[in-house]
Amino acid sequence: MQRILAIIIALLAWFAVITQLVLMLENRELGIGETLVSFLSFFTILTNTLVALFFTGRLLHIRITQKAGKLTAVTSYILIVGLVYQFLLRHLWQPTGLQWVVDELLHTVVPILVTIYWYLYEEKPAIHYKQIPGWLIYPLVYFVYILVRGMISYNYPYPFIDASQLGMGRALLNGVLILVFFVVIQILLIMFATRKVKLKRR
């Protein structure tokens, strides 16, 4: 069952990311290069690609994907994708057709399936709070990249970090709040895992 679920997650994530790329290229108003840069500037795309690579790596028994805490880190990233979209972004547009399917895969289906996989198969005794600083490197690097790119291109992928509209101070504050949200989610995952381990030992 574990392998089957990993295959499903990998296939759905690859399908959603690749199909989203095709849709963006078909509907682009900019050149191909600029469209690709824009595509790779979305945390949703990068994180679903990370999920696809991670679960493909697990299926191929690549060592780094088997290390303790890696699954929890990936789970926290994709959970943020789902939660931020549901509460902050879903109301901003109403996709239809294939775009709706891809949208739901990227923001709802894949996050749920990854969370289920984490719940069932993470090596919970091996994860701990001191891993959190390492888990934060990815979102922190992303946030810095988005701000630097935005200052150059005046193009921001998400309205809550759009410094051109909000001002740099507010954008930085929102970014810090999102990073805090990452920490909260990661702490909750560790707390849940620790509680489950204790219950098993009783």
The tens place of each residue's pLDDT in the chain, 202 residues long, gives: 899 999 999 999 999 999 999 999 998 888 888 899 999 999 999 999 999 999 999 999 998 988 889 999 999 999 999 999 999 888 888 899 999 999 999 999 999 999 999 999 998 888 999 999 999 999 999 999 999 999 988 889 999 999 999 999 999 999 999 999 999 999 999 998 887 555 555 5
Q: Which of 148, 82, 134 lies closest to 111, judged by CA? A: 82
Task: Please give the single-letter amino acid code of residue 179.
Answer: L
- Stated pTM of the model: 0.93
Q: Which tokens go with 191?
A: 């707390």
What is the Cα–Cα distance from 199 to 202, expressed in whole angstroms? 5
Q: Which tokens go with 55?
A: 């679960």
What is the Cα–Cα distance from 151 to 198, expressed in whole angstroms? 48
Q: Please give the tally of structural domains in the chain.
A: 1
Burial code (b: 16+ CB inside 10 Å, e: under 16) for 31-55 equals: eeeebeebbebbbbbbbbbbbbbbb
- Range(s) of the domain holding residue 173: 2-201
DSSP 61: T
Contact 149, 135 (CB under 8 A): no
What is the Cα–Cα distance from 5 to 18, expressed in whole angstroms? 20
